Structure 1
Amino acid sequence: MNRRATTAAIAVSLASALTLTACGGSGGDSVAADAKQTLTVWAMGTEGEKLADVAKVYEKANPNITVKVTPIGWDVAHQKLVAAAAANKLPDVMQMGGSYLTEFADMGALEEVDTKTFKEKDYFPAGWEQGEYDGKAYGVPWYVDTRVLYYRTDLAKKAGIDKAPATMAELQTAAEKYQKAGSKYGLSIQPNGLDSVQSFYQFLYSAGGQIVTKDGKTVANSPATVKALENYTSYFKKGLAAKSVRPGYDVTKDFNTGAVAMFFGGPWHMGLLDDNYPDLKGKWAIANVPTDKTSASMAGGSSLTISADSEHKAAAKELVKYLTGTKGQADWFQRTKDLPANMTAWNSGDLANDPKMKIWKTQMESAQVSPAQPKWSEITSKIDTAIEDAAQGKASPKAALDKAQGEIEGLVQK
């Protein structure tokens, strides 16, 4: 939480410098796409590691292009991007999540997307929206992400549960039954720490709540949002979920042992379970987020952006075109299990035929995007605090969100 507040403060202090150095794309299109050149690319986490293999494939097909991929840890990514932007040393191509992209687009550090080459209709709406800021597109969707419910089917039978919970009320009943049947916790959700809000989004959006509306109105203490936090924190009060979780906690370990019976997870959890716990195969399944007013999950993922000051924009655009096209997306899914942002990639292979993937696609179609706010990381840190205060019993959900409301209002760009 403090890390995000600190990096956001750095960004604010550098905004004036960035307006001068990044705005206007002084690098221009000085190098032709097929000229011999080196493209610098920054990508984060696992994607940064996997992208190096794809770069080798791309180089074979495009011998004049060298793709130099630098993997960046998510824990330092924001700070490195801010520092590079201030020094006018951003790479040609960058992976960016929605909150980062908004911030850097606002600074003038990103090249506007060529919408004749990259067409909005080809991508999931939630993926495309994450690349937009102030009515313009600055990022091309690379992969999308959302959350679904993972649950132990073998333990469900022992607990007398014959189907996945379809409603939020059924979710809590299932958690109680799992616990009575021997699981330490019926559900794993995040009670505190950085980005607790990502665990909360499933409850928030399904209840019809929001933090900030698209037109910049702060609604962090609206009745729907309060209701969602009351439901969320009831799991901690009833002992159905752990009241504290250590940093870096890996829920799949407790899911494997049965200590945790259900959790909301991303697509990468399927690979973790298959690779690390092969004996668990056939003993778990996924389901869409249980319905409150609706079934809605967060929309995550990353876009690929091009620096406004890159001297290799034409070649950078060709690389982004490959990575976000149908063939490149299908290849990326096989390598990483990241959900393709390009919808045509879902029309063949496992993406079209695997029942699990149909669940992901359905959830992605209703996933909700965070509003385009330059200070979104700072804004959500206030919700992280509210979640922790309510989960630990330091304040009621209403009081915690009232406090967050006041703090967020001053951070919102109208």
Structure 2
Amino acid sequence: MQRRYLSLAAAIATTMTLTLTGCGSGSGSDDVTLKLIAADYGDSRANGSQHYWDELARAFEEKNPGIKVDVEVYSWTDVDKKVEDLVKDGHAPDLAQIGAYADYAAKGQLYSADQLLSIPTQADFTPSLAEAGEYKRVQYGMPFGASTRRLFYNKKLFSQAGITSPPASWDDIAHDAQLLKARGVKMPFALPLGPEETQAETMQWMLSGGGGYTDSIGKYTIDSPENVKAFKWLKDDLVGKGLTGVDPAKLNREDAFEGFADGEVGMLNGHPALMKQAAAKGIDYGTVELPGAHGKAKATMGVADWMMAFKQGGHRAQAGKFLDFVYSKKNVEKFSGEYGLLPVTSAASQAMLADDKYAKFHGFLKQLAGAEFYPANKTSWPLISKTVKAKMGAAVGPRGNPSGVLTDIQNTADTADSAAE
């Protein structure tokens, strides 16, 4: 009888040992290290995203001793290529926070969001952002950091030029830019169509003219009459009259923002991060919804960056647990506030709207639900974005042909879409 009890005790002890080892004790053989490649949102080494992720990883690891998180942060210039190279070499990271997800989803390389996240976490994404993360109606891209666009204007320069209210239409923009030019403002309206972020400025003007990159069913409409009209107006009524100050094809968004912060730009389209940059230089500015051809634009542009989880490492459960932590209300709100971005979850958005500390973000945040996004769910989008960057700046120059350029890009898009089918 005693021998039977001893055998039972030994079996229980063995089972407990196996159970503890399987759960991971922090040093056991079943410990998992998640590899995350992320983009840098900081504007200096002191506030780079590496600090945010290191702190977040430490907090997660304290609560989950069997899971380590190794994060490498790269500049936006390098991060997408870094992930692309790792995937090609057969060493895909467990997680990547980059600019596009559709190509990886199309190749079956990603877990879907519902394979990773708890139901409350997935349901908390702002609906328009969750939809923008879908490939063939399945969400693979989890939004991470979002923004909308508004028109920024320098109140001091406006006052000196005798302008009493911000522009509400394209005619107002041209009229106010003429007054600013007469007062000697270096760049009355900054139009960054240089190679850095041309696809963003292009989309803003498409939307303000009633067009866009695609129609309601996702078909490219790059050479639509509305888009042609928008860029013909820019060429003839803004650039052609010397109201941009410099050649748009040579002006990058970063330089346009810096010019606004230095008091050399009267107005431009911008996102929330510009507020911090302008305030740091003492610029008294205002923001309004984007002006359209005949009044307020039909929609503003929304931008989201994407988190995705690769299947290769097989760490679905651990990656999902970490992502549930990443997308907690506290962590989303902290990241958004620190880097001048909009929250991607409803809970964090409501918290930001209820906090007067974020009052200047409220106008941007209220636009997010109805914003229109890049067609990032199309595998052809990276090529189209690259083509837009290469060609749209010259389209509004002295020898530019907006209709011809837009038609050329449309043909590229149609060919790319046909090849993808």
Above 0.5 in TM-score? yes
- Give the Å deviation of 1:360: 0.5
User: In structure 1, how many angstroms separate the alpha carbons of the residues matched to 2:196 and 2:252?
Assistant: 9
Task: Write the letter of the residue equivalent to 2:185.
Answer: S
Query: Which residue number in structure 1 is paired with residue 104 of structure 2?
Result: 104
What is the SS of the residue equivalent to 1:186? strand
* 2:37 paired with 1:36: no
* 2:153 paired with 1:151: yes
* 2:404 paired with 1:399: yes
- Give the Å deviation of 1:211: 2.6
Structure 1 residues 142, 384: closer, same or farther in 2, change over 3 A? closer
The answer to which of 378-387 and 153-162 deviates more is 378-387
Structure 2 unaligned segments of length 5 or more: list them. 1-21, 43-48
User: In structure 1, how many angstroms separate the alpha carbons of the residues matched to 2:288 and 2:143?
Assistant: 25
RMSD: 2.5
Structure 1 residues 395, 337: closer, same or farther in 2, change over 3 A? closer
Deviation by residue 1:63-95 (Cα, 9 ceiling, x = unmatched): 333221101222222322222212331111111
- Give the Å deviation of 1:188: 0.8
Query: Which residue number in structure 2 is paired with residue 382 of structure 1?
Result: 387
Query: Which residue number in structure 2 is paired with residue 273 of structure 1?
Result: 278
Structure 1 residues 56, 119: closer, same or farther in 2, change over 3 A? closer
Query: Which residue number in structure 2 is paired with residue 12 of structure 1?
Result: none
What is the SS of the residue equivalent to 1:332? helix
Query: Which residue number in structure 2 is paired with residue 307 of structure 1?
Result: 310
Structure 1 residues 300, 53: closer, same or farther in 2, change over 3 A? same
Query: Which residue number in structure 2 is paired with residue 291 of structure 1?
Result: 292
- Count the aligned residue pairs: 378
Q: Is the 8 A contact 1:44 1:73 kept in 2?
A: yes
User: In structure 1, how many angstroms separate the alpha carbons of the residues matched to 2:255 and 2:194?
Assistant: 15
The answer to which of 55-64 and 67-76 deviates more is 55-64
Say which structure, 1 or 2, has more relative contact order (CA 8 Å, 6+ apart): 1
- Give the Å deviation of 1:119: 5.8
Q: Is the 8 A contact 1:351 1:357 kept in 2?
A: no
| 1:356 aligned to which of 340, 354, 360 | 360
Q: Is the 8 A contact 2:193 2:252 kept in 1?
A: no
Normalising by structure 2, we get a TM-score of: 0.82
- Sequence identity percentage: 22
Structure 1 residues 335, 211: closer, same or farther in 2, change over 3 A? closer
Query: Which residue number in structure 1 is paired with residue 203 of structure 2?
Result: 201
Task: Write the letter of the residue equivalent to 1:196.
Answer: T
Task: Write the letter of the residue equivalent to 1:105.
Answer: A
Query: Which residue number in structure 2 is paired with residue 224 of structure 1?
Result: 226
Deviation by residue 1:219-278 (Cα, 9 ceiling, x = unmatched): 221101101212333421111112143567422332233321112112222222234x1x
User: In structure 2, how many angstroms separate the alpha carbons of the residues matched to 1:312 and 1:36?
Assistant: 11
User: In structure 2, how many angstroms separate the alpha carbons of the residues matched to 1:126 and 1:223?
Assistant: 26
User: In structure 2, how many angstroms separate the alpha carbons of the residues matched to 1:55 and 1:410?
Assistant: 43
Structure 1 unaligned segments of length 5 or more: list them. 1-30
Q: Is the 8 A contact 2:148 2:365 kept in 1?
A: no
| 1:368 aligned to which of 372, 381, 386 | 372
What is the SS of the residue equivalent to 2:416? coil
User: In structure 2, how many angstroms separate the alpha carbons of the residues matched to 1:33 and 1:175?
Assistant: 64
- Give the Å deviation of 1:194: 4.1
- Give the Å deviation of 1:116: 5.4
